[in-house]
C-alpha cells in the first residue's frame, strides 16, 4: 500500500508541545500526529454512530409511546366526563329537592337535635381524655 506525505504548518510553540507529547509516548512526531488524527477519526465515527442510535431510539420511543399516551388520554377524558356528569346530576337532584344552593338562600339556623347533642358531648369527652393523657405524659 502506497503512503502519501501530508505537510502541516504549526507554530513553534505547538511544534515543541507535539515533540514533548511524542517523546512521552515514545513515538516520533510523524507517528504521534498520525495516531492522534486516527484516534480523532475513530472518536468521530463512534460519536456519529451514537447520534444515529439516539435518533433511532427517539423515533422508536415516540412510536411506542404514542399509543400508550392516546390510551391514557382516553382514560383521563372518561374520568373527567364521568366526574362532570356526576356533579351535574347532583346539582340537578339538589335543585329538584329545593335544597338551598347559596348562603343567602339558607335562612334557617341549625336546630338542636338529640343526635347532635350526644355527638357534641362524646367529642368533648374524647378531647378531655386525650388532654388528660397528654398531661400525664408531660408530668412523667
| Angle formed at CA 61 by CA 59 and CA 67, multiple of 5 degrees | 110
Q: How confident is the model at residue 14 (pLDDT cuts 50, 70, 90)?
A: very high
Q: What is the pLDDT of residues 52-71, one digit of tens each?
A: 999 999 999 888 888 888 88
What is the reported pLDDT for 100? Answer: 65
- Tell me if 19 sits within 8 A of 29, measured CB to CB: yes
Cα(93)–Cα(22) distance, rounded to whole angstroms?
A: 89
What is the reported pLDDT for 109? Answer: 53
Q: What is the pLDDT of residues 68-116, one digit of tens each?
A: 888 888 899 899 998 888 888 887 777 777 666 677 766 655 566 676 6
Under 8 Å CB-to-CB from 19, ≥6 apart: which residues?
Answer: 29
- Tell me if 21 sits within 8 A of 30, measured CB to CB: no
Amino acid at each position: 500500500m502506497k503512503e502519501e506525505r501530508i505537510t502541516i504548518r504549526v507554530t513553534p510553540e505547538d511544534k515543541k508541545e507535539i515533540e514533548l507529547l511524542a517523546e512521552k509516548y515514545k513515538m516520533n512526531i510523524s507517528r504521534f500526529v498520525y495516531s492522534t488524527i486516527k484516534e480523532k477519526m475513530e472518536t468521530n465515527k463512534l460519536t456519529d454512530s451514537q447520534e444515529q442510535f439516539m435518533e433511532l431510539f427517539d423515533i422508536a420511543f415516540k412510536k411506542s409511546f404514542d399509543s400508550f399516551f392516546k390510551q391514557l388520554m382516553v382514560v383521563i377524558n372518561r374520568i373527567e366526563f364521568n366526574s362532570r356528569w356526576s356533579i351535574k346530576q347532583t346539582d340537578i337532584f339538589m335543585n329538584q329537592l329545593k335544597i338551598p344552593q347559596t348562603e343567602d338562600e339558607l335562612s334557617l339556623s341549625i336546630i338542636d337535635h338529640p343526635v347532635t347533642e350526644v355527638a357534641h358531648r362524646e367529642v368533648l369527652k374524647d378531647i378531655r381524655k386525650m388532654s388528660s393523657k397528654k398531661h400525664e405524659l408531660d408530668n412523667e
